[in-house]
Structure 1
């Protein structure tokens, strides 16, 4: 059987990794309809006419279109809002120059890290919320630097992490497998970090769409499943299928997705990286066989319009705000 291929544009598409999604899903690379291909062309053309020159590759266009159910107008507005934010936040300079030197101290109170891959080849992202203490953290760092770190890690997820994982697996990988450990989390801790999580959620939802792969909430406290059962009614069904709420007996379910040797010992795996898994950043993106220099290390062209445009309208929401919080919380401050 002929392997499906991504319909590319030579002007923007320069990939050095596989570009066909492993599963046949409508609107995903290699599995698009002629109508969807036309919508990619339409979106890119409209953005070019507005003066944009960067991030117009086909994979990016498809992610924004999927996030807006292939409504070209909404996807265009989402992209414009994203580019405006990138310029205001200074994303391109941040990813090249940011030094999160206080990270080991911050991790004492809020542990978040990428660590190896799941059985599908995706990067595994882990968060431990039990020790979270913003008051203590803000003696070490600032909320602004935490958000800057969030953005830098999202950029590194897009390149070099996901491309390296795609090379190793032999198929396109665009999402993460997230493990969020709720052990020790009480309602008082949740409320104290709500402001930060809300900001992180907005960044996740609005500017890094379609990065949620599988999401495991482990050590969920009593009653959490009931609450989540209500929340599911507000979420996109596609998102709901990716979320697994597990109590303390999570091991069997987690082992189905993450190899024991890739899972830190604290979660029942066998991995014990030198210096600790949380600070190792182990994965294909560190392996000389699969890693390549990220494209953001290269000089960038301006991605802002060359002509004066009207201020973008507020972004149209694709899902309920609760989804944004869940997606943001699962990736804040690094991603998946």
Structure 2
């Protein structure tokens, strides 16, 4: 649903206020969640549940309990140490902030095809992902709101599918975990997902997944031809384009080795966004240790609820499709490259 009735927001607001009235932890979680814009936050949860007030209430209360039970409100003071471990995550969980669109929304680049998620435990990747979410919501978006003079509560994401292979099956588990965290606790935070540099395997997966998506989700996903430069320039300036969208000849991967490595490679731990994020967490960690004293480093673990029915269905369908593709390529004596070339008749479209 595109709009939420004011009456629904008021009803949900009354229910939430009553539910958190005597709980300091839930109150803190709600404050960190809405960042001074409670109505807009309630609208997001209502949209995520198609305007159903009781379902939106349950979703939001579950989210607040998740935050309290997993100490999410203090996650920006929990360093991933040593620094080499954090850098390894950045090298294998590719995400970066490239700038802001013409409407002032932050633009995030995500290297889906090249993210290996193979250099750290699952918990560390989940921790890093949540820290980026929280830094976006508590720091980036409030700064964007102040900059443009009106509320900015959402972002755009550009998903680079370069190098997506059949081995993506091995990453379905962690991707499902991260998607579940986002769907249940950070709903409606992304306005549009731009898919760029899609290989043939994406075409096959998209044909399987698209019919399973809700109409609300379908409207957010735009599959672009090639690097998508021309379409993206309609909503953002050229300096905001991630390096893999600059031209079709410079596709995907990392820009390491270029003359302006720190500027070009939005994924790198040396990029301004990640430097600022790391320094913020380090400062918060230092401030926290001064208040309560140093604590021994321990593993960070977040409880992830079961994904909803839609996500479970999509995961199963994707797994089945990828297994069939893998079995087909093996039976034909083909590797990933040959198998993908054999799928050249498939077309990529957002229609």
Normalising to structure 2: TM-score of the pair? Answer: 0.66
Q: Could you say which residue in structure 1 is the equivalent of 2:152?
A: 173
Give runs of ≥4 in structure 1 deviating > 6 Å. Answer: none
Q: Could you say which residue in structure 2 is the equivalent of 1:36?
A: 8
| Alpha-carbon distance change, 250 to 37 in structure 1, aligned in 2, over 3 angstroms | closer
SS, match of residue 154 in structure 1: helix
Contact kept? 2:111, 2:159, Cα under 8 Å: yes
Task: Report matched runs for 1:98-247 at 5 Å.
Answer: 98-99=79-80, 101=83, 102-135=85-118, 137=119, 141-188=120-167, 190-222=168-200, 224-225=202-203, 227-247=205-225
Q: Could you say which residue in structure 1 is the equivalent of 2:19?
A: 47
Instruction: State the Cα deviation string for residues 154-190 of structure 1 (Å, max 9, x = none).
Output: 11111111111122222222211101111111011x1
Contact kept? 1:115, 1:281, Cα under 8 Å: no
Contact kept? 1:122, 1:173, Cα under 8 Å: yes
Ranges in structure 1 where 5+ consecutive residues have no aligned partner: 1-23, 287-292, 299-313, 326-336
Instruction: State the Cα deviation string for residues 101-129 of structure 1 (Å, max 9, x = none).
Output: 23333333332112211222111111113
Normalising to structure 1: TM-score of the pair? Answer: 0.68
Report deviation, 1:69. 2.2
Structure showing greater relative contact order (alpha-carbon pairs closer than 8 Å, 6 or more residues apart): 1
| Alpha-carbon distance change, 79 to 50 in structure 1, aligned in 2, over 3 angstroms | farther
Q: Could you say which residue in structure 2 is the equivalent of 1:78?
A: 59
- Distance in 2 separating the partners of 1:50 and 1:316: 30
| Alpha-carbon distance change, 174 to 319 in structure 1, aligned in 2, over 3 angstroms | farther
- Distance in 2 separating the partners of 1:324 and 1:38: 36
| Alpha-carbon distance change, 120 to 318 in structure 1, aligned in 2, over 3 angstroms | farther
Q: Does 1:96 align with 2:59?
A: no
Task: Report matched runs for 1:22-33 at 5 Å.
Answer: 25-27=2-4, 32-33=5-6
Report deviation, 1:211. 0.7
Q: Could you say which residue in structure 2 is the equivalent of 1:306?
A: none
Q: Could you say which residue in structure 2 is the equivalent of 1:18?
A: none
- Distance in 2 separating the partners of 1:164 and 1:95: 17
SS, match of residue 107 in structure 1: helix
- Distance in 2 separating the partners of 1:249 and 1:175: 23
| Alpha-carbon distance change, 134 to 43 in structure 1, aligned in 2, over 3 angstroms | same
Whose helix fraction is larger, Structure 1's or Structure 2's? 2
Report deviation, 1:322. 5.7
Ranges in structure 2 where 5+ consecutive residues have no aligned partner: 32-37, 248-254, 278-282, 289-304, 317-351
Instruction: State the Cα deviation string for residues 269-291 of structure 1 (Å, max 9, x = none).
Output: 8x9574643342459x99xxxxx
| Alpha-carbon distance change, 125 to 234 in structure 1, aligned in 2, over 3 angstroms | same
Contact kept? 1:67, 1:209, Cα under 8 Å: yes
Report deviation, 1:319. 4.8
